[in-house]
A and B are shown apart, each in its own frame.
Chain A
C-alpha cells in the first residue's frame, strides 16, 4: 500500500482502471468458462442417461432370457457414439452380463460399479443406471464417456479467452492512458507550479485553468491563494523598505550627532586646556616667588590651586583623548624604540607618587628584548595610566611592572596589592565613564576614563588588554602589544 501511495497520480489512475478491467475481464471469462464446462457436464450426463435408458430397455429381454450375445449386440450399437469408450451391462446379482469397448479403448473394467451413480475422473465421465422391467430392477448399465476432446476444446476456448483478455487489457490500458490525461495533467501542472514557486519564490506564477470540476476549483483556490501571498509579500517588502529607510535615516542622524558631540568635546577640551595651562604656569611662577615673597599659608593655598588645576588638566586630557578615539581622529605612528628605556623612564617618573603613599614601585625586565616598532607615545600613555591606576587603588604593599616576551608580542603586566575587584565588576572596568563602586562613595578621584582609554589605545596598537583580580588581594592588568605595528601607520 505504501508503494502505491508513492506512485504518481498518472500511474495511479492507469493502475486503477487496469485493475478494474482486469478484475471484470477475469470475472466474466471465469464465469464463461465455468458455465461452458457445466453445460458440457450437464449435456454429457443427460446424453449418457438417455443412452443408458435406451440401451437398458433394449436389453431387458436379453437379460430376462440370459442372452449375453443379444445384450452385446445391443451394446454394440454404441459404436456410433465416438466419445463413449466403454459400456457394460450387469445382471441383478452384479455379475458382468455384456460388455462393449470402443476399438481405441479396449479392456476397461468398471470394477463392478453397479449401483446407480455419476462420477468423473480427469479424462472421463461415468454413469451407472439401473435397468428396470415392470418397475423391478433386473440389472444395471454402466457407461464411460471420454471428455478429452471437449477438454481440448475448452482449453482452446480458454486460450482464445486469454487472447481476448490480453487484447482487452491492452485496449483498456491505451484507453485509460488517454482518459487519465486531463486529470493527471491538471494535477501535475499544479504540483509543478507549487515546486517552482517553492524553489524560485516567484509568487506571480499561475496555474492554467482547464476544467470546471473539483480540480478546476482547486486550481482557482490555489491561484487565489498565490494572489494573496503575492500581495502580502509585496506589502511586507514595502513595509521593510519604509522601515529600513527610517532606520537608515535614524542611524545617519545618530552617527552625525555622535560625530558632532565628539568634535565638540575635542574642540572644547582644547579650548579649556589653553587657559588652564596659563593658570598652572602662572601659579608656578607665583610659587617660585618670582613675583615676590609669600608666606607659608599663601604657598599652601596656591599649591592647592596648582594641584586642582593639574588634576583638571588631566581630566580634560582624558576627555580629549577618548573623544578623539571615538570620533576616529586619533592616529598612531609607528617608530622603532627600545622598551627598556621607556619602561625605566616611566617607572622612575611615577615612583615619587608611589613612595608618597608608602608603596614600592619596581620593574622586572626580561633581558635582550627586541626593538619595538609601535607608537611610543601611546604605549607610554597606556603604561602611565595603568601604573597611576595601581597607585590610586593600592594603600599598602607594592606595585610591580613585569615586561617579557610572549611569542611575537610584548607582554606588560602591572601587578598591585590593592583593593582588587569583585568578579561581577571586572567585566565593565574598561567601559567609558564607569567607575567601580568601591562601597566608600567615590573615595578615589578620577574621570573613569583611564582604563577605557588604555583599552582603546591597546587595540589601536593591535594588542589586547586583560584583567585578573581578587577582591582585597590585588589586581593584575596584562597588555599584549605586537612587536611590529606594521610599516604603514594605521588608523582606527
Chain B
C-alpha cells in the first residue's frame, strides 16, 4: 500500500475512494482492510475489494494478485482493461510476464520489481524515488521499443 503514492494515474478521480482489488483470496483481505482504515492513500479513502471477475475490476486502481492465485490470474488477464490498472504480484517472474510491480524476497529482504514497459502500457507513471529503490525488469523490451 506504501507505494501507491509513488504511482501516477492519469484518470484518477480524487473525489472518489481509491480502490484496491484483491484477486480471489480472503486471507489477505482482512489485514489490508485494517491498514486502509489506519491511513489514506494519496489523500483519499481506500477501499479494499475482493474481485474474481474482470467486470469487478472496473472501479479498481490496483489489482493485487497473491502468490497462490498467480496461476489462476492467467485466465483473468485477457479480460482486464489495458489501462489505468496497476497489477501487483508477489510471485517469481510476475513483473516480467503478468504485472507491472512485483514483490519478491531476496537475501531475507522484500524487494520491489518494476516493469516500466508494463507501466507505460497501462498509462501509469512511477516516481523516481520508487524507481531508485526498485529492481527494473523487462528493460530489454523497453530498449527494443525505444
Interface positions of A (Cβ within 8 A of B): 58, 60-62, 64-68, 70, 134, 136
Contact = CB atoms under 8 A, between A and B. Distances in A.
A64 B40 CA distance: 15
B129 A61 contact: yes
Contact of B133 (A61, A134, A136): A61
What range describes how many residues of B lie at the interface? 10 to 19
A64 B5 CA distance: 11
Contacts of B39: 134, 136
Given A60-B129, A134-B40, 16 more contacts: A58-B129, A61-B129, A61-B130, A61-B132, A61-B133, A64-B3, A65-B2, A65-B110, A65-B112, A66-B109, A68-B109, A70-B132, A70-B133, A134-B39, A134-B43, A136-B39
Interface string B1-37: 0110110000000000000000000000000000000
A67 B2 CA distance: 13
A58 B133 CA distance: 11
Given A134-B43, A136-B39, A64 B2 contact: yes
A60 B128 CA distance: 12
A60 B132 CA distance: 12
Contacts of A64: 2-3
B111 to A, nearest CB: 8
Contacts of B112: 65
A134 B127 CA distance: 16
A62 B112 CA distance: 11
A458 to B, nearest CB: 144
B129 A67 contact: no
A259 B3 CA distance: 151
Contacts of B5: 134
B133 A67 contact: yes
Nearest to A61: B129
Given A134-B43, A136-B39, A65 B3 contact: yes
B11 to A, nearest CB: 22
Interface of B: 2-3, 5-6, 39-40, 43, 109-110, 112, 127, 129-130, 132-133
B110 to A, nearest CB: 6
A66 B130 CA distance: 12
Contacts of B40: 134
A62 B132 CA distance: 9
A69 to B, nearest CB: 9
A68 B5 CA distance: 20
Contacts of A58: 129
A58 B128 CA distance: 11
Residue in A60, A61, A70, A136 with the greatest tally of chain B CB atoms within 10 Å: A61
A114 B131 CA distance: 28
A136 B133 CA distance: 21
12 contacts: A60-B129, A61-B6, A61-B129, A61-B130, A62-B133, A64-B2, A65-B2, A65-B110, A65-B133, A66-B109, A66-B110, A70-B132
A134 B46 CA distance: 15
A173 B2 CA distance: 74
Nearest to B2: A64
A79 B132 CA distance: 20
Nearest to B129: A61
B5 to A, nearest CB: 7
Nearest to A59: B129
Nearest to A64: B2
A65 B6 CA distance: 12
Contacts of B43: 134
Contacts of A136: 39
B18 to A, nearest CB: 13
B59 to A, nearest CB: 23
A58 B130 CA distance: 11
A62 B97 CA distance: 26
Contacts of B130: 61
B16 to A, nearest CB: 19
Residue in B2, B40, B110, B130 with the greatest tally of chain A CB atoms within 10 Å: B2
Nearest to B110: A66
A287 to B, nearest CB: 178
Nearest to A138: B2
Contacts of A61: 6, 127, 129-130, 132-133
Contacts of B129: 58, 60-61
A70 B130 CA distance: 11
A70 B132 CA distance: 8
Contacts of B109: 66-68
A60 B2 CA distance: 10
Contacts of A65: 2-3, 110, 112, 133
Contacts of A68: 109
Contacts of B127: 61
Nearest to B38: A136
A434 B130 CA distance: 149
A435 to B, nearest CB: 148
Nearest to B39: A136
B86 to A, nearest CB: 16
Residue in A62, A65, A67, A134 with the greatest tally of chain B CB atoms within 10 Å: A65
B72 to A, nearest CB: 27
Residue in B6, B109, B129 with the greatest tally of chain A CB atoms within 10 Å: B129
A137 to B, nearest CB: 12
Contacts of A134: 5, 39-40, 43
Contacts of A66: 109-110
Nearest to A60: B129
A70 to B, nearest CB: 5
Contacts of B2: 64-65
Contacts of B132: 61, 70
Contacts of B3: 64-65
A62 B110 CA distance: 12
A290 to B, nearest CB: 185
